[in-house]
Structure 1
């Protein structure tokens, strides 16, 4: 049976959220992002016409499009609207994977037996727009790679269907830049030897490609040939990562406790970024010396930034730890995970902050997770009394 995999993408999601709130923003160049030293988080198609792109420094974006209206952005609002869209899709789709804050994969294989798969997806897309007010593009094909590429080709608000027999003819003329997860370094390497479209890449011997770019060469060759057997992984809101520490001796040493929590958050946030996750829920857990256990959690805008999570964890701990008894355990959990790489607060932090995170993560990847850390996160021995 031919697989039926749908990729759904909320068109210029941040921009659409702002236009939903203020209709006067329709039809004008719009940039969502930080201040003069920040970066572009998202931009409208009108701004893209002038060469503005996501992750571009704001100064450069405004040089290209000085007439653009700039809005700082509200990640909390965007997170809430993303959850609203998720609920609509989850209530109707048999299998759904939330790939990021604004992207979804659906496996509707077999639905043609009872419904038209394309017509059903059109109805779902219309339901999302009707219930949330947000525009959505989608593509239906035989696997995740082809459907994602097709969604990009159909934007804005274009809906494509690429059956198995037409996969190669659809992919062949496209730039290799269209292949998901093909980075700038690999693109430049392939371009230097004349490989710029997907057809040329697909005709290369897989072994040669593997020798050139390493273990990912075979996977890249498969994608160029429209081969992708990766399943749609059902979305589970409860997916999480966590760390706990049980003390050898019960303690009431607050500076040490907070220092340890900073270190735990740093490790968890680095894991988020390494695995390309974003968290929307933070939970702090404490266990008193008498084994009473209490937890407190709060929702946060999707993030994987140490400093954002650290401030939330400290606030949760301060509001939770009221009894002034000794503690035997502390724990931190990050949940409500979705795929994504919005590594820092792109509406408040600077280009320098982004560069600092990238440099720190590069050192951690090379020398280990403890290679670089905040002084506040260093291990401090509990005071003995």
Structure 2
């Protein structure tokens, strides 16, 4: 008997924050609207904008003064996070009524596994009904990708916006997926794309047809993973419990002798933090909580941790936090064992950059820097700056984290 193929939806809300504002204020519909932090002083960064604004050149993370240059009639609103959170709850409630197998990725997008919940209904008609229901009940537009796995569904939902419904079957990937520029592939960041283009991998099709050993030599285990994705292979399940996962990556070592010498202790922290960084990169994750373990000569053991507002991944960030925790909590007795652990990990592939109020002031202060960078790039070329982060905009914020935590609690009640 032939095994039934999976039916995976990726639901992606269109211009979510701006769309929520338009739902509350219908007179804004059809106008260029942007959400930003400090519109009164023309400071801040564009968090999101309506499609009318995007057509005029307004882009996410663009300094507000620059957005006004592109679109003088731009309507800029301050964010109302309670409003967005409430809208998101309604959206995921609707999705969960359709199938219990729903996995939120962020406040405005999620996967659904409808394999056993559609009966004989046509997937496209099913998606149309879902899209219309969200629009009718919440006045919010969305795009839906339909595919046999999560990667293809995600790629499909990006192919037609706003209010698009796109089916991407495995037999269609050579026609629909492979011609796309490698930058457009989900999971390929700027730095990875640059590495691939150096060996003449310019499209997703080029990646799919490249020898997997070549890719592994270039990108490590991620090369093999991307090769599979480009060929339409993705066995990951839609996991409703993924939001509950709080994994950790840690390293500890028993010291060769009981230590009290601070430089020697710091050297151990350097070594442990470097190993944690390597494993974070291997797993393609970032962390928002660093914990240290101290075991004294008498075997008394303590752990202390620091919760962060931003995700980190580098040795320098990890070791700095570890040393600060150690300075704060060490009682100066001899130490037998030290450990460093990165907790509350999040996959880079599932991060989505949406700036919160804490980010606005920080980003606004960088406007002069952005202007200087633009001038330098104009003079010397756009590749003069090498991005430190190897993924598409992916800084998840405390607001995104709070939403996922709220969703987790609601499922547990």
Q: TM-score, normalised by structure 2?
A: 0.60
2:45–2:360 CA contact under 8 A, matched in 1: no
Question: Residue 96 of structure 1 is aligned with which of 93, 96, 102?
Answer: 102
SS for the counterpart of 2:30 is coil
Distance 1:211 1:133 in 2: 49
Q: Are 1:350 and 2:362 counterparts?
A: yes
SS for the counterpart of 2:31 is coil
Cα deviation, residue 111, structure 1: 4.4
Structure 2 partner of 1:259: none
SS for the counterpart of 1:27 is coil
SS for the counterpart of 2:158 is helix
Distance 1:43 1:343 in 2: 13
Distance 2:80 2:43 in 1: 18
Structure 2 partner of 1:49: 55
Structure 2 partner of 1:171: 177
SS for the counterpart of 1:350 is helix
Structure 2 partner of 1:146: 152
Distance 1:344 1:87 in 2: 24
Distance 1:91 1:240 in 2: 26
Change (3 A) 1:83 1:235: farther
Cα deviation, residue 118, structure 1: 2.7
Query: What is the correspondence of 1:133-282 to structure 2 with a 5 Å cutoff?
Result: 133-235=139-241
Cα deviation, residue 93, structure 1: 1.5
SS for the counterpart of 2:59 is coil
Cα deviation, residue 136, structure 1: 1.4
1:38–1:346 CA contact under 8 A, matched in 2: no
Distance 1:88 1:113 in 2: 18
- In structure 1, the gaps of 5 or more residues are 243-270, 279-303, 307-333, 356-361, 363-385
Query: What is the correspondence of 1:334-373 to structure 2 with a 5 Å cutoff?
Result: 340-342=352-354, 344-345=356-357, 348-351=360-363
Structure 2 partner of 1:305: 309
Distance 2:227 2:240 in 1: 26
Structure 2 partner of 1:9: 12
User: How many correspondences in the alignment?
Assistant: 280
Distance 2:138 2:287 in 1: 25
Change (3 A) 1:143 1:236: closer
Change (3 A) 1:44 1:33: same
Structure 1 partner of 2:317: none
Structure 2 partner of 1:251: none
Change (3 A) 1:67 1:73: same
SS for the counterpart of 1:131 is helix
Distance 2:164 2:95 in 1: 19
Distance 1:107 1:164 in 2: 17
SS for the counterpart of 2:44 is coil
Cα deviation, residue 224, structure 1: 1.3
Structure 2 partner of 1:121: 127
Cα deviation, residue 85, structure 1: 0.8
1:8–1:151 CA contact under 8 A, matched in 2: yes
1:137–1:159 CA contact under 8 A, matched in 2: yes
Distance 1:103 1:123 in 2: 18
- In structure 2, the gaps of 5 or more residues are 249-279, 289-307, 311-343, 345-349, 368-387, 389-413
Provide Cα deviations, 1:95-128, integer angstroms capped at 9, x if missing partner: 1111111001011114455332332232222222
Q: Are 1:19 and 2:22 counterparts?
A: yes
Provide Cα deviations, 1:155-199, integer angstroms capped at 9, x if missing partner: 111111123322332111112122112111112222334322111
Cα deviation, residue 229, structure 1: 1.0
Greater relative contact order (CA < 8 Å, ≥ 6 in sequence): 1
1:137–1:151 CA contact under 8 A, matched in 2: yes
SS for the counterpart of 1:121 is helix
2:113–2:238 CA contact under 8 A, matched in 1: yes
Structure 1 partner of 2:337: none
Distance 1:347 1:15 in 2: 18
Provide Cα deviations, 1:285-335, integer angstroms capped at 9, x if missing partner: xxxxxxxxxxxxxxxxxxx736xxxxxxxxxxxxxxxxxxxxxxxxxxx9x
Structure 2 partner of 1:132: 138
Distance 1:59 1:49 in 2: 17
Distance 1:305 1:63 in 2: 32
